[in-house]
Structure 1
Amino acid sequence: MTTAPVRLMRGFATVGGLTMASRVLGFARDVLIAALLGAGPMAEAFFVAFRLPNMFRRFFAEGAFNMAFVPLLAKRLEGEGSEAERRAAAQDFAEEALAALTAVLLALTALALVAMPVLMLALAGGFADDAERFDLAVAYARIEFPYLLCMSLTALFSGVLNALGRFAAPAAAPILLNVFLIGAMGLALAFAWPVGDALAWGVLAAGFAQAAMVWLAARRAGMALRLRRPRLTPGVRRLARLGAPGALAGGATQINLVVGTLIASFFPGAVAWLSYADRLYQLPLGVVGVAIGVVLLPELSRRVRRGDEAGARDAMNRAAELCLALTLPAAAALAAVAGPIVSVLFGRGAFSPEDVAATATATALYALGLPAYVLQKVVQPIFFAREDMDSPLRYAVAAMATNVVVAAAGAPLVGYVAIPLGTVLGAWLQLWLLMRGARARDPAARADARLAKAAPRLLAASLAMGLALWLGAQALGEALAAPGLRWLALAGLMLGGGALYAVLAVTGGGVRPADLRAALRRRD
């Protein structure tokens, strides 16, 4: 029988591997956007417009809906009765949730399309004095906003699949967005279309493709959900009650994004710089954080339902261990050599040396918060698995307040740099509050001896690797700037740093090779 740690590792490997493929394509996408649009008006208009449906998506789907939906669905799958009866109860609940979510999102989308100029002023007030950027952002946002409906439905079907232990299709769906956007830019170049217009329509087309992909996967898994007439059933009321604190917590997080975007819009180029920097730190955050969040929540929900406290604690500790093993070196690398990374990836075409320097500064700052962002994904499922949505809300509000104060007060002093600085400080505060609250109420949140031994060793290996990367970047300065060698030099630098970290982590006892072999042997 497959043990919980091995099952978790295999799930992480499946989700992480597919997410890595998506992020690599995302890099290719953003390299093309940077070369074609740089940090100019069309790039900033596209990034702001795309941020709007993504903000609401995190509010409705990831922040509120899915964190309440998955434990409730898992409870029905692990409930009383035969397997067929449990499946029927789970499908009935999922169809009720689908009807309610669709009705709410259709109404919200219609309202947003009408009120888009007002929404854009709230999100990017700095564009108001620049008619070109403002009009483009409004036009692109109206095209892209229905992406919210598509992605929220994608989140629902993904939640169904994750509760069933099917992780591949939900993890592969984001790949379609990058494929569609790269294809849209190719068509724009071939037919001389405006690149921003092609990107906006590419987002919308990708949304429908992603929703269709996970719907078909759910149907193949025996969950062919039908769209019913929305009704306020007991299951929907329970979902709404549990989801409301999550929605407010998601709203607190989105206020951070709104404030950050609003402040950045007053500094020409800053919206684009922060978007490119976001792409870089989102690579490890997505690969590790998303994989851990997706796999750990249904696993903890099942174990809590069965009363398996020892299994829940082991699952959480192994997830934290994997998180530290992957994110600490990623953070050290991004902080140590942000300049060369940004220069090689984006420094061409319309992306100027000034854009490179500004983006590198934001990247290095964001990197300092990377372990906190990912560890939150480990700790939050402890609350969600027990249907406690109130505590994470309080912690998110405290982090939001810190973020807003630092960004707003710091902007007049240090400019756009205050935005990532506030984000990082808020992330660490939220993690500290989550860990303190979880330890006070749940034995599963306490670090075991193995995690306590591994954590400082992983940190030491990461810091040593970061120093080696910085020294290597100084030695390879000319090669990293040479057009014909820069990609090879960066690849060699990063591979060398990764090899050094692997040796230090294994020989120092921070990583157990047996766990890696178990994760890669066979994927669920």
Structure 2
Amino acid sequence: MSLVRNVGTIGGLTAVSRVFGFIRDMLVARVLGAGLAADAWQLAFTLPNTFRRLFAEGAFSVAFVPMYTRRLHGTEDGASGEEAADRFAGDVLSVFVWVLLGFSALAMLAMPGIVWLLAREYQAVPGKFELAVTLSRVTFPYLLLVSLVAMLSGLLNARSRFAPGAFVPVLLNLVLIAGVVTGYFWRQRTGSDVSVAWALACALAAAGVAQLAYMAWATRRAGVRLRVTRPRFTPDVRRLGMLILPATFGAGIYQISQLVDTFFATSLPQGSLTLLKLADRLNQMPLGIFGIALGTAILPMLARHIQGGDMREAQRLQANAVEVATLLTLPAAAALAICAPAFVTAFFVGGKMTLASGAIMADIVVALVCGLPAYVLVKVFQPAFFSREDTRTPVWSAAATLAVNIALNFYVVPRYGIVGLAAATAFTATLNVAVLYAVLQLRGWFRFTARLGSRIARQLLATGVMSAVLWLLMPLLAPYFGGTVVERVLSLAVLVGAGVVVFFGVAYAAGAIDRDLLGQLRRRRPAKPVDLAE
């Protein structure tokens, strides 16, 4: 299966999840606004999800998938690839379960200290700190459940079965939507926003159970038979552990930055954390659809090419991934930056979310999306290291950029508030990509060719024309962004439709879209490889 088709499968299902996630956040914004309960819920939601992305979907997946793939497509001690891979996965699972249980238990016991480290300013508001601690204890078991989900998802990805792992976030968002609706009706009886936050916290734990049950079924349906036995630290399990430790930092710069941003956001006026997280939802729409899809699809494919010694095919795959990443993220970033007030007003303003809060949120979106291409390119460049089992280089890059991020935050947050915080995150993400690319170039693992550069230049041309059209349309449609539901929908439809038509029309005419690469989406079999290494 081609990279483009894999990205299409993952991206399509992820898009469905993002739509439901967007609906979830729209409801949360309108039901809770940006107050005490909303901030407490955002912190309780951030903690398990950050650790999940950092350890399970980040470090664990990038270390586990290449090792599992090597066993699946080879032989070991006379055993078939299937047998060796299942034995390896069973050994890892038997250790992984106990590690997760121990970590989750310790974190729940230490939750007052964790919340104090991240949000000590919550103590200045009566009841806010205590609510954040309690909700975080309710939500943290989700880490255990969803980490197991991530392992099973990586296992299926190595077998080119991407759909189940891309579908499980849909279950999360459906359960959370049910939670916020339940909380809304519960609040009518209690009269307190805390009821909504409690309903959301309980729904998150329930969602983890639903996701794990589904992935266990999908894994068995794929013919994989895993057994949890007595934990054994085999040489392979120990090697995986050694790879995970540095990969935890290298793969998780974005997640670590999220914790840093949470720390600084909680020191700002009440509601700042909520506005940052809701603004990041708009940023996460293209990031989740394009970035995660590309990173998930490229890692097992790149690992197979590199382990087979086919460096030319590895170069072609990475070049295709960069081209697809820029084709999708450059116009998305420009459109979000120009149309941020329209999207925020139409989607989030209403109920308990005020126009003033919406204006701040729009400024945050503009700052965040400046780093959108970098967020996605990180997902493309890091697999080039991980597929070679080099987890040290991303660690040093991540350490340097994180240090810059923290230093910038101490300077910009007191002066520019939450918007400065978002801008610092975007800048350091771009710096991280620049460092990773420089190392890849120096080692000869990836070359930025003239052909690829020409394609991106044409994409920038199309993005510029689209931006000009959107800039002209914004003041004409502004009165309708906060109008009736029909007016909001129609005005956004005009913006999105105009942007899509103009960008892809100009891009196609200017040759910014590789027709052969695009044609792979319409074929059962991949087209002849497009050699961007020339």
TM-score (norm 2): 0.94
- Within 5 Å, give how 1:368-447 maps onto structure 2: 368-443=370-445, 445-447=446-448
Shift of 1:518: 2.1
Q: Please name the residue that 2:267 is paired with.
A: 266
The range that moved more, 19-28 or 402-411, is 402-411
State the AA in 2 paired with 1:185.
V
- Within 5 Å, give how 1:114-513 maps onto structure 2: 114-192=109-187, 194-249=195-250, 253-267=254-268, 268-443=270-445, 445-483=446-484, 484-513=486-515
Q: Please name the residue that 1:103 is paired with.
A: 98
Shift of 1:514: 4.1
State the AA in 1 paired with 2:228.
L
Distance 2:75 2:471 in 1: 58
State the AA in 2 paired with 1:223.
V
CA contact (8 A) 1:329 1:501 kept: yes
Shift of 1:520: 4.3
Figure out how many residues of one structure are paired with residues of the other and give that number: 518
Distance 2:329 2:196 in 1: 34
Cα deviation, 1:129-154, whole Å, max 9, x if unaligned, reads: 11322122111111100010111111
The range that moved more, 90-99 or 219-228, is 219-228
The range that moved more, 80-89 or 362-371, is 80-89
In the superposition, relative to structure 1, how do residues 459 and 76 fare at CA in structure 2: closer, same or farther (>3 Å)? same
Cα deviation, 1:470-518, whole Å, max 9, x if unaligned, reads: 2101111222232241221011111111110010110010013443342
Shift of 1:422: 1.3
Of the three residues 48, 51, 61, the one matched with 1:53 is: 48
In the superposition, relative to structure 1, how do residues 428 and 251 fare at CA in structure 2: closer, same or farther (>3 Å)? closer
Shift of 1:81: 6.6
The range that moved more, 186-195 or 479-488, is 186-195
Shift of 1:396: 0.5
State the AA in 1 paired with 2:391.
M
In the superposition, relative to structure 1, how do residues 238 and 43 fare at CA in structure 2: closer, same or farther (>3 Å)? same
CA contact (8 A) 2:164 2:215 kept: yes
CA contact (8 A) 2:38 2:271 kept: no
In the superposition, relative to structure 1, how do residues 514 and 248 fare at CA in structure 2: closer, same or farther (>3 Å)? closer
The range that moved more, 153-162 or 185-194, is 185-194
- Within 5 Å, give how 1:62-101 maps onto structure 2: 62-80=57-75, 85-101=80-96
State the AA in 2 paired with 1:419.
L
Distance 1:421 1:278 in 2: 12
CA contact (8 A) 1:15 1:168 kept: yes
Distance 1:414 1:381 in 2: 35
Cα deviation, 1:239-291, whole Å, max 9, x if unaligned, reads: 01111111233565544222211111122211011001110000000000000
Distance 1:377 1:442 in 2: 19
Shift of 1:523: 9.7
Q: The residue matched to 1:165 in structure 2 has which SS? A: coil
Distance 2:525 2:34 in 1: 41
- Identity among equivalent positions (%) equals 41
Q: Please name the residue that 1:519 is paired with.
A: 521
RMSD: 1.7
The range that moved more, 224-233 or 103-112, is 224-233
CA contact (8 A) 1:461 1:504 kept: yes
Q: The residue matched to 1:131 in structure 2 has which SS? A: coil
Q: The residue matched to 1:337 in structure 2 has which SS? A: helix
CA contact (8 A) 1:333 1:469 kept: yes
In the superposition, relative to structure 1, how do residues 233 and 142 fare at CA in structure 2: closer, same or farther (>3 Å)? same
State the AA in 1 paired with 2:213.
A
- Within 5 Å, give how 1:23-38 maps onto structure 2: 23-38=18-33
CA contact (8 A) 2:156 2:162 kept: yes
Distance 1:82 1:256 in 2: 43
Q: The residue matched to 2:481 in structure 1 has which SS? A: helix
Shift of 1:389: 0.2
In the superposition, relative to structure 1, how do residues 462 and 149 fare at CA in structure 2: closer, same or farther (>3 Å)? same
In the superposition, relative to structure 1, how do residues 227 and 412 fare at CA in structure 2: closer, same or farther (>3 Å)? same
Matched, 1:9 2:1: no
State the AA in 1 paired with 2:469.
A
Q: The residue matched to 1:437 in structure 2 has which SS? A: helix
The range that moved more, 96-105 or 31-40, is 96-105
Distance 1:78 1:437 in 2: 29
Distance 2:229 2:169 in 1: 27
Cα deviation, 1:406-436, whole Å, max 9, x if unaligned, reads: 1122111111222111101110110001001
CA contact (8 A) 1:78 1:305 kept: no
Distance 2:79 2:223 in 1: 11
Q: Please name the residue that 2:16 is paired with.
A: 21
CA contact (8 A) 2:63 2:243 kept: yes
CA contact (8 A) 1:13 1:523 kept: no
CA contact (8 A) 2:186 2:196 kept: no
Shift of 1:226: 1.3
Q: The residue matched to 2:75 in structure 1 has which SS? A: coil
Shift of 1:191: 4.6
Q: The residue matched to 2:520 in structure 1 has which SS? A: helix
Distance 1:82 1:487 in 2: 61
Distance 1:83 1:322 in 2: 41
Structure 2: stretches of 5+ with no match in the other structure: 190-194, 527-534
State the AA in 2 paired with 1:92.
R
Distance 1:198 1:365 in 2: 32
In the superposition, relative to structure 1, how do residues 252 and 371 fare at CA in structure 2: closer, same or farther (>3 Å)? closer
CA contact (8 A) 1:14 1:523 kept: no
State the AA in 1 paired with 2:238.
R
Cα deviation, 1:429-451, whole Å, max 9, x if unaligned, reads: 100010011111234x1124432
